[in-house]
A and B are shown apart, each in its own frame.
Chain A
Amino acid sequence: MRVLRLSAIWAALALGVGLFVLLGYFVDLGFIQNFRLTFLRWAVLLAAAALVVGLANLLGVHWRKVSLTEEGWIYSGVLILSFTVTLVLALVFRPDGQAALFIFNTFQLPLESSLMAVLAVSLLVAGFRLVNRRRDLLSLLFVGTALMVLLGTGPAPGGAEGPVVIALRDFRAWLSQVWAAGGARGILLGVALGATATGLRVLLAADRPYGS
């Protein structure tokens, strides 16, 4: 019974706050706008606090792996060590100080760039895999379009002013500005409706991501 009452309170709170924030987007009344901004500021603060909780949880997961010497524990150890060093350096020498920038430019930036390079290779392999796995008209069209866009975007060996290069460039522009843009708008329309339905379900307490 107590659990039931508590869940009703959470649902009522979510409904009330959600309604004020939603109304704030449509109704230009001073007190609604004030409430909306206040709630959004609270949400930003809570999200920041949640990040700290999430990081503590992440450390807890990896600490357990190290202490139980589970498979891959050495990587967890490296994570805990690098996390601690970065945190201490950022706290002592400020987050925008030289030490934090050195870590960012020396480790994080090259690592993330490497991941992007891995993604390029992965997509190439995925293109071949797609044709092999789903040999239907849509997949062939997808890979064919990707190839045409690549050919129309990349540098040409014979210079940028040849008739073939210009034709490819025009074809790429026609593909991306007419077909791709039109298709993307259609998809975005569906996504907007889906997002609205999801939001309204949360607002009506049919979905309770905060637990029931």
Chain B
Amino acid sequence: MTVGGLQGLVVLAVFVALMVGFLAVNQRWPAHFRRIPAYEALRQAIERAVEAGERVHVSLGTGSVIGPESAPALAGLAALTRIARATSISDRPVVVTTGDGAMAILARDSLRSTYQEVGASELYEPTSGRLLGATPLSYAAGLPAVLANERVSVHVLSGAFGVEAGLAADFGERAGLFVIGGSDDVQAQALFYAVAQHPLIGEEVFASGAYLEVGTMHTASLRAQDFVRFGLIVLILLGVIVRTLEGPL
């Protein structure tokens, strides 16, 4: 095993230990996260959509499920279970679109199991998790039809996006929808910041589970994430100081 491999395993082991540790102390030491206005607005928008009999659309992006870009879409799937639960009392269940066939299957599985859990299996439709297009731009081109024909009022974008992020958010904005967008790609985040009403910056897209109260493990993992981040910041600062002191020597 290389030194780098060992370091990676140690970091992962620390991460897992922190997640389990924070899960254990969650009752006694509850988490207090900073406000993310986009998620607060999303909760209200979902409530309004349910009351008005309108639909929530969740886009899981155009990334493949087997690539490194699958992480934001997996976070989106976790949020999807919460959104599906919240909209299960509505006549119009949530609709999910993606640019990857495997992700569409996962979306359908998540919807089916969530509706079964809340005793609303009749809401599940095989067409509610769809592959819109096999390329990023063909996916974006297919979005306006979904937004217009499915009576969508909330447009949630959580997944891997490239430049098509700008189009995907803009189609929602033009239709006057509530638009929230997050991605792992820096370029897509900049596009969301410019176009979407409620952009998610940095790792905020991965915090959806904790902020939408999907489960205690989501809260624990977000705390672990913050803990490791502070550790990394301290290490980076130490490195800067050491290199600065080394410089003139």
Q: Chain A's nearest CB lies how many Å from the CB of B125?
A: 10
Q: Chain B's nearest CB lies how many Å from the CB of A177?
A: 15
Interface flags for A111-129 (1: CB within 8 Å of B; 0: not) read 1100110110011001101
Q: Is the CB of B205 within 8 A of A194?
A: yes
Q: Is A92 an interface residue (CB 8 A)?
A: no
**B66 to chain A: closest residue by CB:** A43
Tell me which residues across on chain B come within 8 A of A50, comparing CB atoms. 65, 100-102, 104-105
Q: With A and B bound together, what is the CA distance between A118 and B137 in angstroms?
A: 11
Q: With A and B bound together, what is the CA distance between A204 and B6 in angstroms?
A: 21
Q: Is B74 an interface residue (CB 8 A)?
A: yes
Interface range, B side: 35 or more
Q: With A and B bound together, what is the CA distance between A51 and B62 in angstroms?
A: 12
**A70 to chain B: closest residue by CB:** B149
Q: With A and B bound together, what is the CA distance between A72 and B147 in angstroms?
A: 12
Interface flags for B106-145 (1: CB within 8 Å of A; 0: not) read 1001101100010000000011011110110110110001
Interface flags for B1-26 (1: CB within 8 Å of A; 0: not) read 11001101100100110010000000
Q: Is the CB of B113 within 8 A of A112?
A: no
Tell me which residues across on chain A come within 8 A of B105, comparing CB atoms. 50, 53-54
Which of B8, B15, B131, B209 is in CB contact (< 8 Å) with A200?
Answer: B15
Q: Is B201 an interface residue (CB 8 A)?
A: yes
Tell me which residues across on chain B come within 8 A of A43, comparing CB atoms. 66
Q: With A and B bound together, what is the CA distance between A115 and B4 in angstroms?
A: 43
Q: With A and B bound together, what is the CA distance between A59 and B101 in angstroms?
A: 13
Q: Is B248 an interface residue (CB 8 A)?
A: no
Q: With A and B bound together, what is the CA distance between A61 and B127 in angstroms?
A: 6
Q: Chain A's nearest CB lies how many Å from the CB of B97?
A: 10
Known A123-B166, A126-B166: A191·B203 in contact at CB below 8 Å: yes
Q: With A and B bound together, what is the CA distance between A53 and B102 in angstroms?
A: 8
Q: Is the CB of B215 within 8 A of A211?
A: no
Known A58-B130, A112-B135, A201-B221: A194·B75 in contact at CB below 8 Å: yes
Tell which of A95-103, A154-162, A181-189 binds the partner.
A181-189
* Listed residue (A57, A119, A122, A193) with the most chain B CB atoms within 10 angstroms of its CB: A193
Q: Is the CB of A72 within 8 A of B148?
A: yes
Q: How many residues of A contact B (CB 8 A)?
A: 68
Q: Is A37 an interface residue (CB 8 A)?
A: no
Which of B102, B140, B145, B184 is in CB contact (< 8 Å) with A115?
Answer: B140
Q: Is the CB of A209 within 8 A of B109?
A: yes
Q: Is the CB of B195 within 8 A of A123?
A: yes
**A29 to chain B: closest residue by CB:** B1
Q: Which of B202-249 contact A (CB under 8 A)?
A: 202-203, 205-207, 209, 215, 217-218, 221-222, 224-225, 228-229, 232
Q: Is the CB of A57 within 8 A of B163?
A: no
**A145 to chain B: closest residue by CB:** B190
Q: Is A190 an interface residue (CB 8 A)?
A: yes
Known A53-B105, A71-B149, A200-B12: A187·B78 in contact at CB below 8 Å: no
Q: Which 4 A-B pairs have the closest CB atoms?
A: A194-B206, A54-B101, A54-B131, A195-B71
Q: Which residues of B approach A to under 8 Å, CB–CB?
A: 1-2, 5-6, 8-9, 12, 15-16, 19, 64-66, 68, 71-72, 74-75, 77-78, 100-102, 104-106, 109-110, 112-113, 117, 126-127, 129-132, 134-135, 137-138, 140-141, 145, 148-149, 163-164, 166-167, 170, 173, 184, 186, 189, 191, 193-195, 197, 201-203, 205-207, 209, 215, 217-218, 221-222, 224-225, 228-229, 232
Q: Which residues of A approach B to under 8 Å, CB–CB?
A: 22, 25-28, 40, 43-44, 46-47, 49-55, 57-58, 60-61, 64-65, 70-72, 75, 108, 111-112, 115-116, 118-119, 122-123, 126-127, 129-130, 133, 142, 146, 184, 186-191, 193-202, 204, 206-212
Chosen A-B contacts, 27 in total, with CB atoms closer than 8 Å, are A26-B5, A27-B5, A40-B66, A44-B66, A47-B64, A47-B100, A50-B102, A58-B130, A58-B131, A61-B127, A115-B164, A116-B163, A119-B167, A122-B166, A126-B173, A127-B194, A142-B194, A189-B232, A190-B229, A197-B206, A198-B206, A201-B209, A207-B74, A207-B78, A207-B217, A209-B78, A210-B106
